[in-house]
Amino acid sequence: MSALRWRQGSGMRGQRPAFLGPSFSFGHFVLPRWLRRPVRVLGRLGRGEFTAPRYSATMLSAALLGSSLLYGGYLGGHLDGFVQGITARTGFAVEQIRVVGNRQTSEIDVLEKLGLNGWTSLIGFDVDTARERIETLPWIENVAVRKVYPHGLEVRIEERQAFAIWQQGSVLSVIEKSGRIIAPFTGARNGDLPLIVGAGAPEAAPDFLARLAQFPQLTAKVRGYVRIGGRRWDLKLENGITVKLPEEGEDRAIAELIRMDQENDLLGRDILAVDMRIADRVAVRLSPEAMKAREAMLKQQALKRKPGAST
């Protein structure tokens, strides 16, 4: 005989002494120690030797119902929402959101991506999922979302750097220096960015604009840079003049253009275009009004040169 387990063959086959209490052995299985006390209590209840505390049945029912709800929520995928609701109502609801580093990105767009509903718990809030949603916004380069207990969230944003506005047909887009499109150009911001036009312009623009920055007196007059045939550039000036640059020797042509403008006010005249595509000459196209005025002037000069013309 043993105090923990009754073994057959002890001399009292088929009977168990009462002083040993309930059996903890079932065949070759022995109950662990943490289950032995509940078994004793149930045995005493069965023999009428133990009276349960008042409301014990209610408490046991509530515990059973609560565990059933938790298990059902777990199986149905609603456990996170249940925990969120409990923790939010016990003092951990998100009440303060701080957004840092945004210039182009609206705070409203950030808040929508956070997915808060007024009772979102800070404890159960998934910052990684929120960060992934915010990263889908067009201007976002990097973002970090951090919990600030007991009621706050902090969102730190690094935005993409706008380089130029790219026009393709009638479509305007804000692009990075790499040529990657950031977002459509709405006109609300970024109006001071250079305008580049045409296929291949984003790839060629960074180097060209960096060299053109050496001539601020000219860039101040440029309204747009048009890529022609993927080979060369036209400059569209604010006053409507087009400067046609060569495929090679752009820096030399620009320096010559600035010299002529300083000496003869070339870009202030009534002309339509300055063609510098040929290395050893500059062709100027006059406006219709300037052409008429020039023709009238030439006729007048021809009349003065005729014999007998009055002087």
Return d(Cα 126, Cα 201) in angstroms, integer: 42
Split at pLDDT 50, 70, 90, the class of 129 is very high
Q: At what angle do helices 201-212 and 250-264 cross, to 10 degrees?
A: 50
Return d(Cα 300, Cα 296) in angstroms, integer: 6
pLDDT of residue 72: 54
Contacts of 145 (CB under 8 A, 6+ apart): 114, 127, 128, 130, 131, 134, 153, 154, 155
Picking from 22-31, 100-109, 281-290, which range would have the lowest pLDDT averaged per residue?
Answer: 22-31
CB 267 within 8 A of CB 221: yes
179's tokens: 């040529």
Q: What is the arithmetic mean of pLDDT over 165-180?
A: 96
pLDDT of residue 151: 87
**CA 287 to the chain's CA centroid:** 48
pLDDT tens for 230-279 read 999 999 999 999 999 999 999 999 999 999 999 999 999 889 999 999 98
The DSSP code sequence of 44-66 is HHHTT---PPTTHHHHHHHHHHH
**Which residues on adjacent β-strands are paired with residue 191?**
none
In a 10 Å sphere around its CB, with 0-12 CB exposed, 13-18 middle and 19+ buried, how is residue 145 labelled? buried
245's tokens: 């640059």
Average pLDDT, the chain: 79
pLDDT of residue 43: 65
Q: What is the arithmetic mean of pLDDT over 66-75?
A: 51
Domains and CATH numbers, the chain: 87-159 (3.10.20.310), 164-294 (3.40.50.11690)
pLDDT of residue 117: 82
Return d(Cα 58, Cα 34) in angstroms, integer: 24
pLDDT of residue 17: 44
Split at pLDDT 50, 70, 90, the class of 2 is very low
Q: What is the arithmetic mean of pLDDT over 151-174?
A: 96
pLDDT at 31 exceeding the cut of 80: no
pLDDT of residue 184: 94
Split at pLDDT 50, 70, 90, the class of 306 is low
Q: What is the arithmetic mean of pLDDT over 206-225?
A: 95
Split at pLDDT 50, 70, 90, the class of 189 is confident
pLDDT tens for 83-128 read 444 444 444 688 899 999 999 999 999 999 998 887 788 888 999 9
Q: What is the arithmetic mean of pLDDT over 199-215?
A: 95
pLDDT at 16 exceeding the cut of 70: no
Between 33 and 120, residue with greater pLDDT: 120
Return d(Cα 187, Cα 167) in angstroms, integer: 13
In a 10 Å sphere around its CB, with 0-12 CB exposed, 13-18 middle and 19+ buried, how is residue 196 labelled? buried
